[in-house]
């Protein structure tokens, strides 16, 4: 599958899935680069259950529909269509046998979003390490979550964005004041986005800029992230960590 044959949703999935796949964290060991990842989307076992749940709730025939993919990585109105009482059993079945963080503790009455932030903060086990090695746990979750920021400068293949970092404040996971975040927008001939310019709002995943965001999209991403952090902090307050 070549880039010029990708649907908008397939291309968007590839841009967000490439950074962890490049590092060997998610998906196939040989996905054919950014443009080939869409054909291996089912192998991203962390993302696929959410994409499927959103597609089913929307009545979309394709789990790589552009609105479905945007909803999972960024956010949007479609997330409200996914019933938490149906999502939670689906996720627990999908991740049976894996070490998770708070997934088994969340009640069906909680406000659970089929969003990447839920996977990072709730499903992944890192939240349970906040009491042992907070710096490592927060650092991994910071890189793994989708973050947003305003481009301040572009130098060669790197870009500096002003972005609110994840931090541990009095035992709670919060978003700090904006600070410089130096990430990659290009590596050789590969780029996931057109050349960024100062003043643009972009999203980043691990060490890559993945997309340019509209004001509405950055607001949706912040809202989804904060919603999940509120859920996590309610359990951190109760001391649910090992």
Contact 184, 156 (CB under 8 A): no
CA quadruple 216, 38, 57, 115: dihedral sign: negative
Which residue has better confidence, 148 or 237? Answer: 148
The pLDDT value recorded for residue 242 is 44
Average pLDDT, the chain: 92
Range 158-178 average pLDDT: 96
39 band by pLDDT with thresholds 50, 70 and 90: confident
Residues 160 and 153 sit within 8 Å (Cβ to Cβ) = yes
8 Å CB contact between 122 and 101? yes
- Domains in the chain, please, with CATH? 3-135+224-237 (no CATH), 144-214 (2.30.30.140)
For residue 195, count other CB atoms closer than 10 A to its CB: 10
* pTM score: 0.94
**108 or 206, which is more confident?**
206
**What confidence tier does 3 reach under pLDDT thresholds 50, 70, 90?**
low
Q: What is the pLDDT of residue 17?
A: 95
**In the structure encoding, which two tokens stand for residue 167, read together?**
């931090």
pLDDT of residue 46: 93
Window from 18-22, 71-75, 198-202 with minimum mean pLDDT = 18-22
Q: What is the pLDDT of residues 53-85, one digit of tens each?
A: 999 999 999 999 999 999 999 999 999 999 999
Range with the lowest mean pLDDT among 18-27, 45-54, 159-168? 18-27
């Amino acid at each position: 599958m070549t880039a010029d044959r990708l649907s908008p949703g397939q291309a968007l999935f590839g841009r967000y899935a490439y950074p962890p796949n490049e590092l060997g964290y998610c998906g196939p060991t040989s996905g054919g680069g950014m443009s080939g990842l869409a054909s291996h989307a089912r192998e991203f076992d962390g993302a696929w259950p959410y994409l499927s749940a959103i597609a089913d709730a929307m009545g979309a025939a394709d789990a790589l529909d552009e609105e479905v993919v945007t909803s999972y990585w960024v956010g949007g109105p479609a997330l409200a269509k996914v019933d938490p009482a149906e999502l939670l059993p689906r996720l627990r079945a999908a991740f049976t046998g894996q070490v998770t963080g708070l997934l088994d503790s969340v009640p069906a009455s909680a406000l659970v979003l089929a969003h990447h932030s839920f996977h990072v903060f709730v499903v992944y086990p890192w939240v349970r390490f906040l009491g042992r090695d907070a710096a490592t746990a927060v650092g991994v979750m910071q890189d793994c979550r989708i973050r947003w920021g305003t481009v301040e400068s572009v130098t060669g293949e790197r870009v500096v964005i002003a972005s609110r970092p994840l931090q541990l404040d009095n035992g709670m996971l919060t978003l700090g004041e904006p600070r410089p975040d130096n990430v990659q927008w290009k590596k050789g001939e590969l780029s996931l986005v057109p050349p960024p310019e100062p003043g643009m709002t972009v999203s980043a995943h691990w060490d890559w800029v993945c997309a340019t965001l509209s004001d509405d999209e950055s607001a949706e991403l912040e809202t989804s992230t904060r919603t999940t952090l509120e859920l996590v902090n309610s359990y951190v307050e109760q001391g649910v960590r090992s």
